A and B are shown apart, each in its own frame.
Chain A
Amino acid sequence: MNPEKCDVILAGVGGQGILLSSDILGRACICENRPVKGAEVHGMAQRGGSVEAHIRIGCLYGPKIPAGKADILIAMEPLEGARFSFYLKENGFAVINTARIPLLGRIYKTEEMLGIIKKKTPNIICGDFTVEAVRAGSAKVLNILMLGAAFKQLPLRKESLAAAIRENVKEAFVEMNLAAFDKGLTMNA
């Protein structure tokens, strides 16, 4: 991987903290004085819609990652992971949460979703990160835990991400989030 540039797609459902994760990655880039661009795609304001965030570390141009060019996909929900996996480059890296968030009146299987992602890349770490987040203190730290799980592939220093977490998270929850991040690290050892 080019250590200067890294395109990251974050995907999930509204309310899963995707925009916070994207802000933390952006802020970590500022700590390291790297150029960074980002885009959030959230339609009309409501809970439960698909959310995608693009983070382009080292990018001088547009905020959106071209299809098939993302280095990393972090998906907090399997259907959303499959939906946005077309952004991944061949043999890119994916971290996928297998805990489903059901759709109104539609059933889909986690395995099928993982199958779609596996067609793009064999480099997948998947598991029920929601359960791990609850064990780490709250389902709300899922986003940070998954950043931890992707850390090894990110061209950012741990201390920059920790500083960004401290800046972007409410003070009372900083320690819980840092612990979740560390827990995520162990899931991609």
Chain B
Amino acid sequence: MEKKYLLGNEAIAYGLLEGGIEGAFAYPGTPSSEITEKLITLSREYDFYAEWSINEKVAYENAYGVSLAGKRAAVIMKHVGLNVASDAFMTSAYTGIVGGLVIIVADDPFAHSSQNEQDSRRYALFAKVPCFEPSSIQEAKDMAAFAFAFSEKTGLPVIIRSVTRISHGKSDVILGEIPARNRVSSFEKNPAKLVMIPANARIALRELNKKQETIRREMEEIPFNIKEEGGKTGIIAAGISYLYVKEAVEKKRLPFAVLKVSSYPLPGVQTSSFIKNMEKVLIFEEGDPVVEEFIHVAAKEANPSLKILGKMDNFLQKEGEFSIEKVEEALDRLTGETPERKPEAADLPARAPLLCPGCSHLGSFHILKKVFGKNAVFPGDIGCYTLGIQLGTIDTCLCMGAGINVGSGISRFEKERPVVSVIGDSTFFHSGIPGLINACYNRANLVIAILDNRTTAMTGHQPHPGTGTTAAGEKTLDIDMEKLAYACGASEVVTIDPYKIKESVEKLKKLREGKGVRVIISRRECVFVGKNTAVKFFVDAEKCTGCKLCMQIKCPAITFEDGKAKITSQCSGCGICAEVCTFDAIGKGEKE
């Protein structure tokens, strides 16, 4: 058996491969993207299908289709992606599946790179489908391989809930056998099962409810729930918290019983027998108190006097992640130990997330401010450009695709100031288009700025329908955004180059005075995708008056020393600063 050092997400990809995956569908989103990246690489070697879909709903429905054709399929997304896919997801539990269907959802406790901390286990319980939660990277791999057969056994889609520390952690991982994928299958007509008209849906719900008993029984048998005997105090840990608990309990030599729970619904028999003779239990889980609520219910019958400590009684934090330190601190409070003094981080200036030197968004935002004024309303969206918050050009960020609609809504009653919705190219394809059509159809008075950097930049430069390539790197259509915007009903579409400040500002003057839905396409490749130039810009200290106009762009390559602007070696040669400078103090030179 081969052992590798893998990122959690890579390990999950290997697990899906070992489980016999034949179709993979995903929209990128941190912390899930590397699963699909790895699957795309593996798909070439092992000959299965993998694609970047335009959004999670589209991905889900494609994977469901593969399942109906009898093959094993996976759909991969971040937690909020499941909101987008939820319409399909909820009813797919009613119809059930044919080939194994596995949903990998990467939650983001502490919202490291997300707009919320929602807990996907709630979705599994909501839809009444099984859910597994790995506590280590090895287990994430093993569960991904195991989940396909479990999905087929129960006839339901199965969720695997990862979290940031699993997905972005690394570990030695023992890999397993990769099966031959030689299923011969095809779509079988079965309208009673697959066509959810009301009469069928009522029956399907009854079937789904009946399946719950089977699932609960199966959860007693799966190899991932582990019970370790101990004294009258028990710890129940779900997911990555289990590793923190193990390390802390071992270090402190505590005689506690530990139950690791890895499946939802919880294994009722095992859980009840664990809590039966306990005096108290402490429950660690990231996200909502899902396990804790279950224990409260189970204790009513198994052990009514059980003291249950967790999030619901505020013994533990309700938000964010756990860590070894936090678990140790909670255990100290439980046992009455004096906590060890923890070293604290020094108070140092943070390196705030910034747009990169040469980022086209720096130019786009500067242009938007010049044309529409800094008091214009800028409903925003999700992508690198959300960092426009630092420039005052992102006023809202709710969810993927919201910016156009929020802008359209605001514009109904905001008559004094221009409303300029900002959206990226990949987000536009993800869920921006319906909003554009709606705004045009309903005659909104709105400017929509599509910041087209020719890639899905923030999640690691995945292709999309405006890039001309597929996940596999094959040539495909490159959707003409200008024509698309006109076809949706835009009254005016103007394309600008965000590196050319003066020219763009001039081009947009007429659009600013126009009416209806006007679309700006600000197009320039992401600096990571485009070719590196050999050019670098310099400040002529003689000419620089120290006016700080160039600092307003917020380019990380521009610093201010001894009363003058200075351009550091980080300069990528975009020249936006030279266009902005009114004293002609910034000039072009060769890179060292």
Determine whether A62 belongs to the interface, using a CB cutoff of 8 Å to chain B. Answer: yes
Q: Which residues of B contact A82 (CB under 8 A)?
A: 346, 348
B245 → A minimal CB distance (Å): 9
CB pair A64 B355 closer than 8 Å: no
Contact (A102, B559) CB under 8 Å given A23-B5, A39-B169, A64-B165? yes
A79 partner residues in chain B, CB cutoff 8 A: 348-349
In chain B, what residue has the closest Cβ to A116?
Answer: B346
- When C-beta atoms are compared, the residue in chain A nearest to B461 turns out to be A45
Docked-complex contact A36 and B354, CB < 8 angstroms = no
Contact status B244-A29, CB under 8 Å:
no
Residue of A nearest to B8 (CB): A63
Partner pick for A62 among B172, B240, B344, CB 8 A cutoff:
B240
Q: CA separation between A116 and B344, bound complex, in Å?
A: 12
B171 in the interface (beta carbon within 8 A): yes
Q: Are B30 and A83 in contact (CB under 8 A)?
A: no
Contacts A46-B353, A61-B244: A39 and B168 contacting too (C-beta < 8 A)? yes
Interface residue A147 (Cβ < 8 Å from any Cβ of B): no
A31 smallest CB distance to B (angstroms): 10
Q: A46-B353, A47-B357 are in contact. Are A104 and B554 (CB under 8 A)?
A: yes
Nearest CB of A to B364, in Å: 16
Please tell me the number of chain B residues within 8 Å of chain A, measured between CB atoms.
Answer: 52
Q: Chain B's nearest CB lies how many Å from the CB of A136?
A: 18
Residues of B within 8 A of A26 (CB): 5, 170, 172
The answer for the CA separation of A83 and B351 in the assembled complex, in Å, is: 11
How near does chain B come to A173, taking the closest CB pair, in angstroms? 17
Tell me if A30 is interfacial: C-beta within 8 Å of chain B.
yes
Contacts of A83 in B (CB 8 A): 345-346, 348
Contact, CB under 8 Å: B171 / A13: no
A47–B556 contact, CB under 8 A? yes
Known: A39-B169, A47-B357. 10 other contacts (CB 8 A): A26-B170, A44-B458, A45-B458, A49-B353, A63-B169, A63-B170, A66-B328, A67-B343, A67-B345, A104-B559
List the B side residues contacting A116 at CB < 8 Å.
346, 348
Measured CB to CB, the closest approach of chain A to B571, in angstroms, equals 12
CB distance from A164 to the nearest CB of B (A): 9
Which residues of A pack against B, CB within 8 Å?
13, 22-23, 26-27, 29-30, 33-41, 43-50, 60-64, 66-68, 79, 82-87, 102-108, 116, 120
Nearest chain-B residue to A167 (Cβ)?
A: B5
Q: How far is the CA of A85 from the CA of B124 in the complex (A)?
A: 41
Chain A residues in 8 Å Cβ range of B551? 105
Leading 10 A-B pairs by shortest Cβ distance? A38-B170, A63-B169, A26-B5, A62-B243, A61-B247, A68-B343, A61-B243, A86-B343, A66-B324, A86-B345
With A30-B172, A46-B387, A83-B348 as known contacts, state yes or no: A64 contacts B324, CB within 8 Å: yes
Pair B324/A105 contact, Cβ less than 8 Å: no
Give Cα A133–Cα B560 distance, bound, in whole angstroms.
27
Closest to A25 in B: B5
User: Which of chain A's residues have a CB closer than 8 A to the CB of B352?
Assistant: 49
The CA-CA distance from A46 to B570 in the complex, in Å, is 13
Contact across chains for A64 and B323 when beta carbons are under 8 A apart: yes
Give A156 to B137 CA distance when docked, in angstroms: 23
Which residues of B are found within 8 Å of A46, using beta-carbon distances? 353-356, 384, 387
- Scoring B137, B559, B568 by chain A CB atoms within 10 A of each residue's CB, the highest score goes to B559
B226 to chain A, nearest CB (A): 14
Tell me if B4 is interfacial: C-beta within 8 Å of chain A. Answer: yes
Q: Does B3 count as interface, using CB distance less than 8 angstroms?
A: yes
The answer to whether A37 and B458 touch across the interface, beta carbons within 8 angstroms, is: no
